[in-house]
Structure 1
């Protein structure tokens, strides 16, 4: 199953399980495969987790250090950088590179609740982008 998910994710993309593992690593900062297994709500086998961690390492998303017989994994890329990559991929895949389309989709979600302060901050970001010619 792990190999199929990795293959389905393709290139630098992450499968659902890989995203879950990355989320655990970002939350904990670093973890062994056993710690990842304990942190997942519905974990696959320990062997599958090790396989996913190896795949994530080959893709350049994690690195490991050795602590005795155990490998301790850490995210190699900051969460913010990964988020930017994910947004860029989503933008091109689903919105034909339209930032307006993404923002409209987010604002049109029925469960989107923005406070007046959040709307003001978004307006300020839009004004700044206008000033910078973006």
Structure 2
């Protein structure tokens, strides 16, 4: 049975996970090649080993290389990361987090479209009807 990943990641671990999620799978060298201000190859291998021990990635051996892939779907990782942000920065208040996102979208060059706002309204209405 797969281990449930620990929630918090360091900045460098998040960068590595972003690369692996974006690529779908990657070797240590491929991760190293895409990291900004990369550490040594040995450091990347050590970080990948730690991420695997903590349940974030798994590996398959292909020849002499280990190829790493996420151990949980990106959608699950998003939910976990978002829950962590809401707990850490908004004291668990979902409404404050959503309000902040919507307010920042108003001043953003990429404002929410009418269709996106309608979709959010539908989600909120469904949650009301389900008693959430």
> Is TM (by shorter chain) over 0.5?
yes
2:126 is aligned to 128
Deviation of 1:89 (Å):
1.0
Partner SS state of residue 108, structure 1? helix
Say which structure, 1 or 2, has more relative contact order (CA 8 Å, 6+ apart).
Answer: 2
Q: Which residue of 2 aligns with 1:117?
A: 115
Deviation of 1:39 after TM superposition, in Å, equals 2.0
Alpha-carbon contact 2:7-2:84 (below 8 Å) kept: no
Q: How many residues align?
A: 124
Q: Which residue of 2 aligns with 1:88?
A: 83
2:64 is equivalent to residue 69 of structure 1: yes
How far is the alpha carbon of 1:126 from its aligned partner?
A: 0.4
Matching residue of 1:8 = none
Q: Structure 1: where are the runs of 5+ without partners? A: 1-10
Distance in 1 (alpha carbons) for counterparts of 2:45 and 2:7: 18
Distance in 1 separating the partners of 2:126 and 2:94:
15
CA contact (8 A) 2:52 2:58 kept: yes
TM-score (norm 1): 0.87
